[in-house]
Structure 1
């Protein structure tokens, strides 16, 4: 089979996020519109301007790997262990690759093992021994999750990590499709994040993009007249991306196919006044639509980046209007429910879009309540059935990364699949 004929479908979804553990728990939160952000509990944040965030509820890392590995790794990687195991179970695949060189891992990352690194550095500064643990050198590393997952699941094919901040969750899936086209049968893709540590929060505060509103119901409001910034969150989603014939041969269920993607860069440094380049962002969207062979009017659903910072929200709305050339695609965002998990958040948006098609329901947007000037978009106010089963997910990474991904969803269970 030639590279161009090899198709990549998503056969497994694993979610570990503030919205819940497991894809169905996440979907229930999206449908209910229940906000899952609140006071940060992973450390004492009372002295910080931002004290709210999104944490994974009732997460027990020992359910997903053994203690020997847990002590060597950060919570961000623990979330990745859980999401990957859930995705493999959902796909009906074994925990360890039956064909190791046919399996690959391509995940996204950005800040690495914050909690682990903070703990070790504090020990270095405060302990008379002036030492750090043996695993400090690997647990904080931005590629640690990819390495641990490839070892744990015996995925010995091409493995790598994408570092484009929040855009990375989409870039990882685009790279997974390329990896399938180049010969892999199964690729683990997606991202998790845990930016909730003193050091990580301080870094995010330096950007000036975080909300300092103390009411969880009002703190993170993308595209709203009351938008004040974002709330940080942990978690994300991992996907089993599988070669179509391989999935068909074992009778696997397909959530849908990644049919197009685009990635651009603003090519200028992000300043305190900039809101991103809408021209370059729109170009990424057009590239994704063109590669998917999709007309703007055929898109059922757009899941936006939804940063919640007024100037960035206006730039995103401008880019969407430009890319869709006068059409008004339905827009739905749910980051206000969970917080923003950076690359894990964009992966979670992909899970939402695929689950919408699996459940034959486009979910209502969690806001805005009062649309901000310049942010006029066709926000879904009520759930409805999809028409064309095509979605576009958009994301931007700090300092100029822009990505868009086009998905074609499979028909829900019981109906003929595309």
Structure 2
């Protein structure tokens, strides 16, 4: 007899902090209207860099959303995460009078870049002024676990918590771990991912990876699955979700349930040169199996969509193996925001849940020429109305990380 947990895990709150979309509904509108948030960098003078485009958040004033005491001790990415957590909890109706014990509330987040901007400001002080000028908060503001820690402190969440790092795949890993935590008995977990590294050093670090597009036309720089694909554009931000036991959500009268996190899985690719194939399709199959579903049950795929030809072809091949040629609609809405590293997967999860809600698939940015050899049904140009019940969200991190999350419409 199986002892695998059978609790259903649902999403009762969503908040997005992304280029072109501060707040969930604003983000969703930007995706549906095709609002391109990729533009010239304005955080610093990037004129001598080989790439000068990014997806920047331009409408966030931390002082409007967070108490002043937090500002000196937080990196920009942590400020995004704290504000997004506040908004997601508010939307879910979770507060001091919600009936949860502190130890029944957890936090699981992911960041791949840590407090880049904060750290490099402090390094500059160290080199130019001396160690006595370095902020004491540097001891933790750079750290990959700081978003989990700051959210848990701010909201008195003392239950099981974690921080995961898996580059672009890490945000989905955080959501998968949050689901596992709820199924093991924790009532509610705040989860997701947020990243930001658009300071000079952080941006240079991203360029050093060799996958960033050097095209300077903002309309043509990031074209996932396009015959003219030349790389991706870095972005910042992400999304935070409130993940909860379905029975608990119903008992407390949660105002809304966006959908169920029905399955999750992660795999790691074999070493280059091993002759063995990558394992993205295996991650998807494992996640679907955990959800008790088959590939034929999937209504839409939110793809990773790096925008690098060989990586796009590898993902397209995996999708064809899973679904057959043009077997399911595929979309890459992050083409409008840039790749947000650990924040990209959670933002795609948010978009997928909203697609299930509104029965519409956002288009894939400015991509308009998909090679026939890819064999995928990519949604391009305009959003596509469709009957949607199940969404598969995929993400790949550098050096072999693969993650998949299966979402379904909520059934009371």
TM-score, shorter chain, exceeding 0.5: yes
Tell whether 2:394 aligns with 1:394: yes
Taking the aligned partners of 2:323 and 2:266, their CA distance within structure 1 comes to 17
> CA–CA distance in 1 between the matches of 2:297 and 2:65?
40
CA drift at 1:307: 0.6
* Match 1:265 to one of 268, 289, 305: 268
Asked whether the 8 Å contact 1:302–1:392 carries over to 2, the reply is yes
SS at match of 1:402: strand
Distance in 2 (CA, whole Å) between partners of 1:17 and 1:321 is 30
* Aligned 8 A contact 1:257 1:409 in 2: yes
Q: Does 1:328 align with 2:327?
A: yes
* Aligned residue in 2 for 1:30: 31
Partner of 2:284: 285
Q: Distance in 2 between matches of 1:363 and 1:217?
A: 17
Residue matched to 1:168: 170
Q: What's the C-alpha RMSD, in Å, of the aligned pairs?
A: 2.0
Determine the structure 1 residue equivalent to 2:9. 8
Structure 1 residue matching 2:360: 3-state secondary structure: coil
Residues 357-376 of structure 1 aligned to structure 2 (within 5 Å): 357-372=356-371, 374-376=373-375
Contact 1:255 / 1:354 at 8 angstroms: preserved in 2?
yes
Task: Give distance in 2, aligned partners of 1:267 and 1:111.
Answer: 24
CA contact 1:332–1:366 (8 Å) conserved in 2: no
Spell out the pairing of 1:306-345 with structure 2 (5 A cutoff).
Answer: 306-325=305-324, 328-345=327-344
User: Deviation string for 1:84-142 (max 9, x for gaps)?
Assistant: 11111111111797421000000111110000000000111111566411011100011
Give the alignment of 1:12-411 within 5 angstroms. 12-94=13-95, 98-128=100-130, 131-252=133-254, 253-268=256-271, 279-325=278-324, 328-372=327-371, 374-381=373-380, 382-410=382-410
Distance verdict in 2 for CA 1:357–1:148, change over 3 Å: same
Distance 1:326 1:309, change over 3 A: closer
CA distance in 1, matches of 2:369, 2:10: 38
Conserved in 2, the CA contact under 8 Å of 1:167 and 1:395? yes
In the alignment of these two chains, the number of paired residues is: 407
The separation in 1 between residues aligned to 2:43 and 2:27, in whole angstroms, is 21
Q: Residues 323 and 96 from structure 1, CA distance in 2 versus in 1: closer, same or farther, beyond 3 angstroms?
A: farther
**Gaps in structure 1 of 5+ consecutive residues:** 411-416
Quote the Cα distance in structure 2 between the aligned partners of 1:170 and 1:277: 24
> Residues of 2 paired with 1:147 and 1:205: CA distance?
29
Contact kept in structure 2, 1:232 and 1:341, CA below 8 Å: yes
Secondary structure at 2:257 match in 1:
coil
Q: Deviations over 1:267-315 (max 9, x none)?
A: 326x9xx9x9754111111111111111212211100001111111111
